[in-house]
Each structure stands twice: as C-alpha cells, then as structure tokens.
Structure 1
Amino acid sequence: MENVPRETSQENPSKEGFSGIKKLDLKDYFLTGEKFEIYEDSETEVLYTLPQPIENLGKYYESKNYISHTDGKKSIFERFYQMAKSINLNNKLELINKVSNGKKILDYGCGVGDFLEHLQKNGYNVLGMEPNDSARRIAQSKVGIEKVRSTEIEQNQEKFDVITLWHVLEHIPNLNEIINQLKNHLTENGRLIIAVPNHKSYDAEYYGKYWAAYDVPRHLWHFSVTSMSKLFNNFGMKIESTHPMKLDSFYVSLLSEKYKGNKLGFINAIRVGLKSNSKAKKTGEYSSMIYVIKAEK
C-alpha cells in the first residue's frame, strides 16, 4: 500500500506526505464555505481531499441539517432522502439474501439504525457501529443498546457473514487500516458490501465543482469503479459484482442545484438524474454504486 496516500493525524495536514495530481478546487457548500482541493493517487486512482482536518473533523458534521444523522422529514431534501431510504432498505435486504446464506451482519457506520432495524425484523443477527453520539442513540432506541456500539472494530473479536458500509467508506480517515480490519472480521466466505458515490458518473461531470457528492471535507476519499477495484486488489480482495443506486442521481442533483444557487432547479435536477442513469446503462458509471467484495483465496 506504499503508493496510497498515507493517513495523517495532523489537524491541518499540508500536501507533504501525499503524492498525486491535482484535479479540482472545491469548497464546503454544505456548512463552512472553507476551500479544499482534490488530488488523484497515481497508483489506485482514488481521489482524496486536502487538507484533511482529521483532529477537528467532527465540527463539519455539527449541523441539524446533516441528514444521515437524523430522522428529519421537514425539507424537500429530507423528504426525498427518507423516501429513497425506505425504497433502498428492501433493495439492500434483497442483495444480502442473494450473496450470503449467513445471518450475522455488521453495519459499519449504521447512522440512525434503519437498516439494522429492517434486518432484525427479517431474522438477521445484527450489530451496528456508529461514531456519532446522537445518531448512535437513535439507532440504539430502534434495535437495542447492546446492538449498536462505537466504531472501535479492533476491540471486537467476532466474525461476520456480511459487513456493510452504506456511504461510509468515503468518510473514514484511516482508510487502509479499517479496510484491513474489516477483511479480518469476515467469515471464510464473507462479503463486504460497500456503497459509495461515483465521481465518473454523468451527474458528477455535469455539476463539476458543485457536485454535492464530493461533500468536502466530510468525504475524504472519492471513488470510481476502477479505483475501487485497484484499491481492494491491494488487500487481496476482488469485486464480485456491482449494482446501481439509481435514486442517488436525483438526490445528488437536487443538492447540486442548491449549491449552484438555483432555487428553482428541481426540474433540471430531474433531467440530469434521468440522463445520468440513461448514460450509465452503457457506461456502468452510475451516480452511486454498490460493490460486493470478497477475499481471494
């Protein structure tokens, strides 16, 4: 893993210790307005955010509008998000039923616990890990205090048939360390199921620096189908299959229109979302992708 950008614990890391080609100048449109840069690692093609304010990263989540840490349904974005989440719950369960016969599942970065609750109701033995205190408490109220812990996976000796990360991998500072730990917590035939945004999608190309799924600096890493394959190959793992998250193109486009300052961008967001999904039928580059990953024997 020598060529993957090293993680750092500095509060305001400089470019020193990172290698790559500068791709974009961005800013935090969601909360602070601070400026950041995107670089590409030459080996894996993973994009990464600089600077990475690791020691102070929590402040960038401190907003009642950070949607994955709440059950809010007031704004148009919250209502669309909750609708999409409800639809996706069944799709996620169906995927797990296809790729695994096991019933023991870890949802790493479980948010407010809706997926855990859905799994539990369908007979699965679940454990969730979530670093955010308020989100973790909501999740615990749904599935039980003992079923949701902080994300200190190295202190857990259990193995799981499936470990899921739904839009979580891009948030993890110590990326290499956590991937290795997750691999070590899989059963012999276990799978990682990982969903991440795809910066090679049409909606990413269309919105450019305003593409909401860059979400710097909360998203420290940015992936494509190619970079996910290269990254996990470095851990002796391979991608078995990929699956689109077609609703994400619409939600991300809605937010991107907002970041562009287009208050009446709903119609254009629908148009861009439709076009993104249409183009992805040929290219395979959907706005968000699900990867089913297993260790090579």
Structure 2
Amino acid sequence: MNKKIDFYKDLKPFLECKDFTVSGEVYQVKKNEEFDMLVTVPIPENLGDYYKSEDYISHTDSKKSLFDKVYQSVKNITLKRKLKLMNSFTTSSKNILDVGAGTGDFLKVCANNSWNVYGTEPDIGARNIALKKGITLQEDLSTFKNNLFDVITLWHVLEHVENLEEYITTLNNLLSEKGRLVIAVPNYKSYDANYYQQFWAAFDVPRHLWHFSQNSISKLFAKEYMLVEKTLPMMFDAYYVSLLSEKYKVGAMKPISAFLKGFKSNLKAKTTKEYSSLIYVLKKK
C-alpha cells in the first residue's frame, strides 16, 4: 500500500492572496516543491460558506451584468469545443460523467449529441437549475461507486477538492480501462499569473486549495499509473481571468487593459505552452 502523501510538508513561502469574492480574508499560498504545485493555507473549516456569493457565476445562469453576458456567450463557444473533444474519443458505451457539473450545460450538450450523461454537483441551487434543463445531478461521487465511465470530465474542479490524493484514486477507479479523464485547471506558471501575482483571479483563495503546473498533474496522476496523453489550451481563460484580475488590482475591470494582458499571455504561451488554463487528457498506462 502506497504511503499517504502529506501535501503540507516542507512548504516554502510563495505569496499572500486575499479572498476578493466573499470574506476579504488573507491566505498564504505556499509551494510544495516535490509536486511543483502551490497550496492554500489554511483551509477554512466552513469552506462551503465561501461559495455563497452571487458573484460565484458557475452556480448560476446569471445574465445581469455585462460581465455575466460575456461569460455566458463565451461559455456557449467553449461548450462546442468541449463536445468536439468528447466526440474525438473512441468509446464503447458513450457513458460520460461530469464532476462538478454546475448548472448542467455541458451535460445537456452531450445528451443532445447521443451521450449517456451522469454528473455530480454539491451546490443544491445549481442542481435545481440543471434539473429544469432535464439533467439530474448527484451530490457526490459515492452514488457511482459501482459504475465505470468511458469519459470523466472535471472542468475547473480539481483545484477545489479537499482530499486530493483519495479523490484521484476514486476517479481512476471510476474510469474504464480504455477511458479518458479530462481535467481543466488554471496554470500558475502562465504569463497572466506571473503578471498579476497576488491579484491573479485564478488563485481564488480559499476556494482553490491547489494551484497546479503541468509537472503537478503528471506527477500526481503517475502515482495512480495514469499518464497525460495530450495537453490543450483554454485560450478564453486568459481574457476572463485578466478581466477579474484587473478589478482586484485597480478596483475596475479595465477591459482594454485586460484584453491586452490576455492576448499577451496567449501569445507568449504559443512558445512556452504555459497557457492561463490547460486541459489535460489522461489515460491509464
């Protein structure tokens, strides 16, 4: 039996970040050098309370503000790209599990394209919105412990998971032998992360407990005998994150400045491959 990983051992100082969404509290973001990733310290005992905000847009279908409308428009474009990726996989039963499915839009698109869809979402409000779209979501993965899936997706979810090592093991156990695990997470080694530093919106403390690099993902999943088959950019994220980061840094969204920073981030990433967010497609060895 493998020894349990202590992700909080021998952490090195990295920076301090403020919770700009809910509490205004300051958290330490420290570096775990073994896994080349950053760790938020401490984890609040009442972590669920830090998601209770109208600004937490993934739990709503809000179109109130200009920012909301832009987010929802971009979401429609990215949904088509995600579906194209799903359809590129060769599967036997077309069973897909979306972990942290939010309000169910991704699974709705998959269901409309002949996928058998399953999903989880801890937020009851988001689950209720999904149900109105005909998508039934479970609260957590325990419901599916006896199931196997051809594709499992986590769109900006892994950074929220408290028991990281156990969670990765669970995902591996739920994946069919020739299945694909698709994980999208922010990349703290991107240009926009380096530019905005403690104001980088994708740190999103304390909701984001882990901050991954490409090395992080490879090393973490190698322990479960899984390997990264391909890595893909999420180019819109550089603009979205820069827009929020401008707000945190200077008190206003500054769309022109944010666009330029997002554009520069994507431009530099053509060479470095360090995009603001990355999609990892993993398979079993």
- Normalising by structure 1, we get a TM-score of 0.92
Secondary structure at 1:148's aligned position in 2?
coil
Q: Distance in 2 between matches of 1:160 and 1:26?
A: 37
Q: Contact 1:159–1:185 at 8 Å: present in 2 too?
A: yes
Q: Which moved more, 1:165-174 or 1:40-49?
A: 40-49
CA change 1:120–1:154 in 2 (3 A) is closer
Per-residue deviation, 1:170 = 0.3
Q: Distance in 1 between matches of 2:33 and 2:90?
A: 34
Per-residue deviation, 1:275 = 0.2
Tell whether 2:228 aligns with 1:239: yes
Q: Contact 2:203–2:211 at 8 Å: present in 1 too?
A: yes
Tell whether 2:73 aligns with 1:72: no
Per-residue deviation, 1:155 = 5.3
Q: Contact 1:25–1:38 at 8 Å: present in 2 too?
A: yes
Out of 149, 159, 164, the residue aligned to residue 170 of structure 1 is: 159
CA change 1:174–1:38 in 2 (3 A) is same
CA change 1:264–1:196 in 2 (3 A) is closer
Q: Distance in 2 between matches of 1:243 and 1:264?
A: 27
Per-residue deviation, 1:264 = 5.6
Out of 92, 95, 100, the residue aligned to residue 109 of structure 1 is: 100
Q: Distance in 1 between matches of 2:4 and 2:188?
A: 21
Out of 180, 183, 189, the residue aligned to residue 178 of structure 2 is: 189
Tell whether 2:117 aligns with 1:126: yes
List structure 1 segments (4+ residues) > 6 angstroms apart after TM superposition: none
Q: Distance in 2 between matches of 1:199 and 1:100?
A: 32
Unaligned runs of 5+ in 1: 7-16
Out of 31, 46, 49, the residue aligned to residue 56 of structure 1 is: 46
Aligned to 2:262: 273
Q: Contact 2:243–2:253 at 8 Å: present in 1 too?
A: no
Q: Distance in 1 between matches of 2:6 and 2:126?
A: 30
Per-residue deviation, 1:4 = 3.9
Out of 200, 210, 224, the residue aligned to residue 189 of structure 2 is: 200
Q: Contact 2:131–2:137 at 8 Å: present in 1 too?
A: yes
Per-residue deviation, 1:125 = 0.1
Secondary structure at 1:260's aligned position in 2?
helix
Q: Distance in 2 between matches of 1:134 and 1:154?
A: 19
Q: Which amino acid aligns with 2:216?
A: S
Tell whether 2:81 aligns with 1:91: yes
Matches within 5 A, 1:10-89: 18-53=9-44, 55-89=45-79
Count how many residue pairs are aligned between Structure 1 and Structure 2.
283
- Normalising by structure 2, we get a TM-score of 0.95
Q: Which amino acid aligns with 2:32?
A: D
Q: Contact 1:77–1:251 at 8 Å: present in 2 too?
A: no
Tell whether 2:239 aligns with 1:250: yes
Aligned to 1:11: none
Per-residue deviation, 1:263 = 1.9
Q: Contact 1:5–1:19 at 8 Å: present in 2 too?
A: no
Per-residue deviation, 1:148 = 1.1
Q: Contact 2:98–2:119 at 8 Å: present in 1 too?
A: yes
Unaligned runs of 5+ in 2: none
Q: Contact 1:120–1:143 at 8 Å: present in 2 too?
A: no
Aligned to 1:13: none
Aligned to 2:250: 261
Q: Distance in 2 between matches of 1:214 and 1:113?
A: 24
CA change 1:3–1:275 in 2 (3 A) is farther
Q: Distance in 1 between matches of 2:231 and 2:105?
A: 23
Q: Which amino acid aligns with 1:278?
A: L
Q: Distance in 2 between matches of 1:4 and 1:41?
A: 11
Q: Contact 1:47–1:223 at 8 Å: present in 2 too?
A: yes
